[in-house]
Structures are given as structure tokens and as C-alpha cells.
């Protein structure tokens, strides 16, 4: 059976580092080469080959939190076709004054994506483009006022860890974004790959209500919590 190949993009704006790194590692751990190397050939049969793209207006480094500089691998103009795109969280002021090229890219790409993910204030970025209008969504739960100002037509949810409305997956804070991507791994590729990914990180995901879910410990046993 041929290995599925997917293109996964991360939009580089001046965001919180964990919004990018956390979900990226959840997804990266199920990439075919990683699973084959650390989990064996049998488990790797179910794992996709993942091409990662880090996208910005130019190829200049983008400042993230903690003084980290992220180097884009492609520009908005040159980015290839994507299956998935994740938008992490910048300062709300950035979302309120979203550059036109970012706005156009999100609107156009959302038409062909299998899923658009947002984490934390990345939901404000998506809301600013109008793609979340009349949809259920969430953002960092401390930012209800900004959400209503930037996305007045969005049906905001201020209680759930993440919200899925069609192809639009929006998460609350940074770790909620990791939980959301863990859930996406499970529904897309199964619990075995989810357990493998979270085991490598020694990370225990939470459900949509913020409650811990089953995970696999280092000995390969399922632990109920």
C-alpha cells in the first residue's frame, strides 16, 4: 500500500512559540519516517509522509516569543498546494491590523484545504479574514472582548477546549492547540499513532472539555486516568 503524502503548512507571524512548536511536534511524530525509525515498519504502514512548510510574506526570519527567530521555507506567493494549515497566535493588535497579503492567502487557501487549524489568538487572525463568519469557533478564553470586536459575526464559544465546524478547527490557549491536534491525529490516523506521538513527548492530551484522556506509557501499556 502506497504511503499517503500530505503538505502541512504553518503560517509564520509574530506568534507565541508554543503555538507553533507544540502542534508541529504532535503532527511530526506521526510522519512515516519518524514512525518507521522509532515505532517499527508495521506501525509505519498507517503513517503519512508529511512535508512541512513554514510560510511568511518574505524569507526574512520572523520573531517569535522568547527571542526565537523562525526562518520561513517559502513565501505566501510561492507556497505550494497545502492540505492543512495552522495559524498560531500573535498579539491581538496584529490580527486587528492583519496585512492584506496574509488576509488574501488565508481566504484563498481556505477554499482548498482539508482543514484550517488555529491556536490561541490565531483564531482572531482567521476571524479577521471573514472565513469564520457564521461559524462556531473559539480563541484564548481570556480574549472574549477582542474576539467580538475582530470577529463580530463569529459564533464564539468560551467554554470548550477546541471547536470544530466543518474544515475549521479552532483551539483556545497554546496547550489546547496541542490537545486539538492530538484529537485530529486520532480521528484521522487512529489511536495507535496518537499514542505513539504522545508517548514520544511524554505528553497527556486532554479532551474537548479539558479532561485528561487515555495515553500510553513508556512500557507500552494503556493507562486510564
Mean pLDDT across 34-39: 96
Give the H or E element holding residue 165: strand 162-165
Mean pLDDT, residues 5-18: 97
Quick one: pLDDT at residue 74?
Answer: 98
The DSSP element (H or E) to which 92 belongs, if any, is helix 92-96
What pLDDT, in 10s, does the model give residues 108-165? 999 999 999 999 999 999 999 999 999 999 999 999 999 999 999 999 999 999 999 9
Q: Is the pLDDT reported for residue 13 higher than 60?
A: yes
Give 168-207 as a DSSP string.
EEEESSHHHHHHHHHHHHHHHH-HHHHHHHHHHHT---B-
pLDDT, tens digit, for every residue of 203-214? 999 999 999 986
pLDDT of 2 = 81
Mean of pLDDT values over 11-35: 97
The length of the chain in residues reads 225
Give bridge partners of residue 165 from the DSSP assignment: 168
Residue 215: the pLDDT is: 57
Q: What digits encode the pLDDT tens for the residues 56-101? A: 999 999 999 999 999 999 999 999 999 999 999 999 999 999 999 9
Nearest Cα to 131, choosing from 91, 85, 177, 182? 85
Q: How far apart are CA 212 and CA 66, in angstroms?
A: 28
pLDDT, residue 82, reads 98
- What does the alpha-carbon distance between residue 220 and residue 199 come to, in Å, rounded to a whole number? 9
Report the pLDDT value the prediction gives residue 214, as an integer from 0 to 100: 67
Give the per-residue pLDDT at 222: 36
Which domains are present in the chain? 5-223 (3.40.50.880)
Amino acid at each position: 500500500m502506497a504511503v499517503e503524502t500530505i503538505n502541512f503548512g504553518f503560517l509564520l507571524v509574530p506568534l507565541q512559540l508554543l503555538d507553533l512548536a507544540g502542534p508541529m511536534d504532535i503532527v511530526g511524530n506521526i510522519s512515516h519516517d519518524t514512525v518507521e525509525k522509532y515505532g517499527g515498519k508495521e506501525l509505519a504502514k498507517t503513517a503519512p509522509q508529511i512535508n512541512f512548510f513554514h510560510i511568511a510574506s518574505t524569507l526574512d526570519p520572523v520573531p517569535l516569543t522568547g527571542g526565537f527567530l523562525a526562518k520561513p521555507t517559502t513565501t505566501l506567493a510561492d507556497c505550494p498546494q497545502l492540505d492543512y494549515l495552522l495559524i498560531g497566535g500573535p498579539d491581538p493588535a496584529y490580527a486587528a491590523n492583519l496585512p492584506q497579503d496574509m488576509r488574501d492567502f488565508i481566504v484563498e487557501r481556505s477554499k482548498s484545504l482539508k482543514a484550517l487549524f488555529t491556536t490561541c489568538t490565531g483564531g482572531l487572525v482567521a476571524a479577521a479574514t471573514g472565513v469564520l463568519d457564521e461559524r462556531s469557533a473559539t480563541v484564548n478564553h481570556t480574549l472574549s472582548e477582542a474576539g467580538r470586536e475582530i470577529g463580530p459575526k463569529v459564533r464564539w464559544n468560551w467554554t470548550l477546549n477546541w471547536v470544530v465546524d466543518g474544515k475549521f478547527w479552532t483551539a483556545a490557549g497554546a496547550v489546547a492547540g496541542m490537545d486539538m491536534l492530538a484529537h485530529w491525529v486520532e480521528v484521522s490516523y487512529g489511536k495507535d499513532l496518537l499514542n505513539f506521538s504522545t508517548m514520544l513527548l511524554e505528553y497527556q492530551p486532554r479532551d474537548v472539555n479539558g479532561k485528561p484522556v487515555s495515553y500510553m506509557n513508556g512500557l507500552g501499556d494503556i493507562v486510564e486516568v
